């Protein structure tokens, strides 16, 4: 009997074991799917900035969950207004009617509801002026709106650390990452990542990019990802299907804040259409060192005032589209002669000089409300003279700004009053990895005051290192939470919020195809390129007006085919000689019947324009050995004429994108009257300028 009972129990246990996986686990379900505890309007959250533009504002409803996280909700909502004479609402989109008064806009999901006040009243202005009227959002108050604090309180330490990490996934096992991979999706979830940076390898076509970004957002468990990219314009342009805007120095040559705003806005519209919500731009470095190998034409110029004016305009254009802007590289990478990708540069100036020059554009951008600041892997010994032992060779080195508490917290936070997000420059650069190692670098950056560690090397090791630093008290939990608070604040202000409903990809793709590379953006690109072309020297050789039989020869190496094609589009009798150095006797003989020679040069550092450079030897050979007018074109760097000052004519175009070559050719042939002004001084011999800042000729 006992044996039969044992057999029966065993059989029941086997049956139960088979049935358990099929039965719902209520506790597990509750853990994975926390219940909604409230519905609120995002615009009522204290740190969220609200602005009514053209009498319109879009409201966003959020479900707040028991575990503290929040998600955007769009379905099964009812919207209403208490006074249609003041404003009407449809699916969260509020339009002011123009009548004075107050209305309450209410949203409900049937179980919970929230409301916000909209006022329309006379604006404050001098007595004698005709009154104007403005709309104003009046937030509701209460603990229910402190969702950032509630979220942080409920997050694990791993989740908090994850928000501070922004790796790249350029490649995976040797192949470019152009679609979501299960391994990457798992890493997004496992490390609770707060953001990801994309590179040119990842963003090939409009459709592919939009899908990849959407898949990244779907992989995030609770909080939306900061999807980031370096879309500066000019030589740092990542989107392969977007509009290739001229870069900052080209904009500096235009002297136009309106164009800078339009360029920033166009870039923002394209990024936003793809789902990319943060741009690591603009560069606010003041390029006052002609030997700078890493900034150069990425800067608006050598004048702090010009950099500030155009940088703020670019920022406002970019952020008007909902894309976060990032000023870089704080406190200033412009006056350096070392590439921080390769070594550790130094800026030797004291605080007074830095505030007048390097820091001035950053202060203006901070005051204008820029979302984020990127740090520089550059040492500033007059600000922080701390010496550390290099892991590379055991020598004592100065602490770079990226890892300096005196720079990030003392200078930026306390002295300059900045409370936005601080992000490091890429932590895989030699200036950091060689001297500090991947884990120590991130720990030092966080202790210094950074909020986001960009491109840390080895996610698992870095996460474990940060966890250990918190456990030992080397980094306080408060220090971590300060950063998470700033990151979540940025995400809320830029609408980077997980949605309960998956996006309609057909609508997303249709909009992206319409926006990215649109005719309106190409028009902005063309205007910026044409207005940037700077005629530096003209000994009566320009503009070109050749007869059909006259021959033009385009000579050079880097990007020379692009220049040749653009010139040939204007004059069919154009030939190309592609060479990286001086011509031989036979080639020189071929040029005897040339009527004009256009020499395109491309340099990015001081050695490129030295008299020993093969390019400079070539141009000087053309000038000295041929009785033919020679016109120099500085394809990238306006300083190129330093290497061949005796040239008959010289123009600068500041970049190698198609629009700049087209604008250059149009200028050479007189179809575009050059109006660009040098944004930098071109040095000559004995410390005297060859051409002053602001110099520029016209026809």
374 and 407 Cβ atoms separated by less than 8 Å: no
- Is 435 one of the catalytic residues? no
| Per-residue buried b or exposed e for 558-583, using 16+ beta carbons within 10 Å of the residue's own CB | bbbebbbbbbbebbeebebbebeebb
Tally the residues of the chain.
699
Spatial separation of the C-alpha atoms in residues 431 and 308, rounded to whole Å: 27
Q: Which of 101, 128, 131 is nearest to 117 (CA)?
A: 101
Report the DSSP pairing between strands 326-330 and 396-398. Answer: unpaired
Counting Cβ atoms within 10 Å, is residue 140 exposed (0-12), middle (13-18) or buried (19+)?
middle
Give me the DSSP letters along 551-598: -EEEEESTTHHHHHHHHHTT-SSEEEEE-SS---HHHHHHTTT-SEEE
- Is 506 one of the catalytic residues? no
Give me the DSSP letters along 462-531: HHHHHHHHHHTTSS-HHHHHHHHHHHHHHHHHTT---BSS---HHHHHHHHHHHTT-HHHHHHHHHHHHH
Write the Ramachandran bin of 194: left for phi over 0, alpha for psi from -120 to 50, otherwise beta: alpha
290 and 334 Cβ atoms separated by less than 8 Å: no
Question: Which residues pair with residue 135 across a beta bridge?
Answer: 120
388 and 340 Cβ atoms separated by less than 8 Å: no
DSSP letter assigned to residue 613: S
Look-up of token digits 């919207």: 79
**Which residue is catalytic, options 425, 451, 640, 648?**
425
Spatial separation of the C-alpha atoms in residues 211 and 352, rounded to whole Å: 48
Dmax of the chain from CA atoms? 119
**Which residue is catalytic, options 341, 405, 570, 695?**
341
Look-up of token digits 């000559």: 684
Question: Which residues pair with residue 104 across a beta bridge?
Answer: 117
| Catalytic positions | 341, 425
């Amino acid at each position: 009997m006992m044996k039969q009972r044992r057999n029966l129990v065993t059989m029941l246990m086997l049956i139960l074991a088979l049935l358990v996986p099929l039965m719902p686990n209520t506790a597990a379900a509750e853990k994975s799917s926390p219940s909604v505890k409230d519905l609120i309007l995002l615009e009522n959250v204290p740190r969220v900035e609200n602005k009514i533009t053209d009498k319109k504002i879009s409201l966003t409803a959020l479900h707040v969950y028991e575990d503290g996280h929040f998600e955007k909700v769009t379905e099964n909502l009812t919207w209403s207004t208490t006074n249609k004479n003041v404003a009407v609402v449809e699916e969260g989109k509020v339009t002011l009617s123009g009548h004075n008064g107050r209305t309450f806009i209410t949203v409900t999901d049937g179980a919970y509801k929230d409301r916000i006040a909209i006022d329309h009243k006379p604006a404050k202005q001098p007595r004698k002026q005709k009154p104007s009227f403005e709309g104003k959002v009046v937030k509701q108050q209460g603990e229910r709106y402190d969702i950032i604090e509630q979220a942080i309180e409920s997050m694990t330490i791993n989740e908090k650390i994850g928000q501070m990490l922004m790796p790249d996934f350029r490649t995976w096992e040797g192949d470019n990452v152009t679609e979501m991979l299960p391994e990457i999706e798992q890493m997004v979830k496992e490390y609770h990542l707060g953001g990801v940076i994309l590179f040119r390898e990842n963003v090939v076509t409009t459709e592919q990019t939009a899908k990849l970004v959407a898949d990244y957002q779907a992989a995030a468990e609770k909080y939306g990802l900061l999807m980031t990219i370096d879309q500066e314009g000019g030589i740092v342009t990542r989107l392969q299907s977007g509009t290739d805007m001229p870069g900052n120095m080209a904009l500096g040559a235009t002297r136009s804040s309106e164009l800078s705003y339009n360029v920033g806005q166009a870039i923002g519209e394209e990024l936003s259409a793809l789902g990319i919500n943060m741009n690591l731009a603009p560069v606010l470095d003041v390029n006052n060192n002609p030997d700078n190998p890493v900034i150069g034409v990425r800067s608006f110029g050598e004048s702090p005032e010009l950099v500030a004016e155009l940088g703020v305009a670019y920022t406002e254009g970019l952020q008007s589209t909902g894309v976060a802007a990032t000023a870089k590289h704080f406190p200033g990478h412009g006056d350096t002669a070392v590439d921080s990708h390769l070594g550790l540069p130094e800026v030797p100036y004291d605080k007074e000089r830095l505030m007048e020059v390097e820091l001035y554009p950053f202060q203006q951008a901070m005051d204008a409300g820029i979302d984020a600041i990127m740090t520089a892997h550059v040492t500033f010994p007059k600000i922080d003279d701390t010496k550390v032992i290099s892991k590379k060779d055991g020598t004592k080195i100065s602490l770079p700004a990226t890892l300096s508490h005196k720079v990030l917290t003392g200078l930026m936070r306390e002295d300059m009053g900045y409370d936005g997000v601080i992000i490091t420059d890429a932590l895989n650069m030699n200036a950091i990895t060689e001297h500090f190692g991947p884990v120590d670098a991130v720990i030092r950056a966080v202790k210094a005051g950074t909020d986001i560690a960009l491109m840390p090397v080895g996610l698992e090791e870095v996460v474990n290192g940060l966890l250990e630093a918190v456990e030992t008290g080397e980094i306080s939990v408060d220090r971590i939470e300060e950063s998470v608070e700033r990151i979540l604040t940025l995400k809320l202000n830029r609408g980077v919020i997980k949605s309960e409903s998956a996006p309609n990809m057909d609508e997303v793709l249709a909009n992206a195809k319409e926006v990215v590379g649109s005719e309106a953006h190409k028009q902005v690109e063309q205007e910026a390129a044409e207005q940037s072309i700077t005629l530096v020297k003209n000994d009566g050789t320009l503009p070109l007006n050749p007869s059909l039989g006259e021959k033009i020869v385009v000579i050079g190496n880097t990007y020379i085919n692009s220049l040749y094609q653009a010139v040939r589009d204007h004059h069919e009798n154009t030939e190309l000689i592609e060479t990286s150095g001086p011509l031989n006797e036979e080639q020189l003989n071929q040029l005897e019947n040339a009527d004009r020679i256009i020499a395109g040069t491309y340099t990015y550092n001081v050695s490129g324009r030295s008299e020993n450079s093969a390019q400079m030897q070539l141009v000087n050979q053309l000038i000295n050995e041929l009785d033919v007018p020679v016109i120099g074109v500085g394809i990238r760097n306006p300083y190129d004429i330093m290497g061949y000052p005796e040239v008959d004519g010289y123009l600068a175009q500041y970049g190698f994108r198609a629009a700049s070559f087209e604008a250059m050719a149009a200028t050479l042939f007189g179809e575009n009257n050059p109006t660009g002004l040098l944004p930098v001084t071109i040095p000559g011999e004995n410390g005297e300028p060859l051409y002053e800042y602001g110099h520029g000729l016209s026809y």
